[in-house]
Amino acid sequence: MVTDDIESQARRLLGATLTHGDVTVRITEVEAYGGTSDPASHAFRGPTPRSAIMFGPPDVLYVYFSYGMHCCANVVVGEEGDASAVLLRAGEVVEGVEVARARRGGVPDVRLARGPANLAQALGLTLAHNGSSLAGPELVLRRAAQAPEEVSTGPRVGVSQAADVPWRFWLTGDPTVSAYRRSPRAAAPRPLG
């Protein structure tokens, strides 16, 4: 796996904002996926109708349906032909709170965009946004001017393959970050040392 590039791309998304219509979310948690070299990635076995968008170009949205119920959104970060993508796991709604509240059905504001499916729902993202440019006009991604100083890292959530790869990144102490849940299908963690 190409670790330095995908890790730096994921970290650069922390503190970024994503705007769709009247709602803007500040990204507080992400997970990196390394394409054909990462067994947890949708692109691990090469391009498929589902994963083709992950192969570039960068700065487009990869949206997929999860568990037959929810949409989840990723930012494609690799160059053309490189399937690297970063799952947007959680965020804080900073504009359009009333719209997000209506979409999310009465949950506390801190939970409006906590978790990848909730983030997509708060922003009003659907499968129709798969492949959309993040340079506007419908969707606008603005990366933070500087990388956040307090970033935590740990294993990815809910994956059965490469479950211990520490490619989940979050703003340390941010209340909108989701809880860690290891997949029951993942092998037991290996002891360090």
By residue range, what is the domain housing residue 78?
3-142+149-171
- Note the pLDDT of residue 191: 60
pLDDT by residue (tens digit) across 17-40? 999 999 999 999 999 999 888 888
Taken as a whole, the chain contains a residue count of 193
For residue 115, tell me if it sits in a domain.
yes
Cis-peptide, bond into residue 189, ω within 30° of zero: no
Looking up residue 84, the CATH number of its domain turns out to be 3.10.300.10
Number of compact structural domains in the chain:
1
Q: Does residue 72 surpass a pLDDT of 70? A: yes
In a domain, 183, yes or no: no
Residue 184 lies in a domain: no
Beta pairing class for 23-33 and 113-114: unpaired
SS3 content of the chain, % helix, strand, coil (to 5): 20, 30, 50
Rounded Cα distance, 72 and 88, in Å: 8
C-alpha dist (Å) from residue 130 to 55, 127, 134, 139, 193: 13, 5, 11, 11, 42
How far apart are the C-alpha atoms of 150 and 29, rounded to whole Å? Answer: 12
Instruction: Work out the pLDDT band at 49, boundaries 50, 70, 90.
Output: confident
| Res 149 pLDDT > 90 | no
| End-to-end CA separation in angstroms for the chain | 22
Does residue 177 sit within a domain? no
Give the pLDDT mean for 90-107: 96
Q: How confident is the model at residue 108 (pLDDT cuts 50, 70, 90)?
A: very high
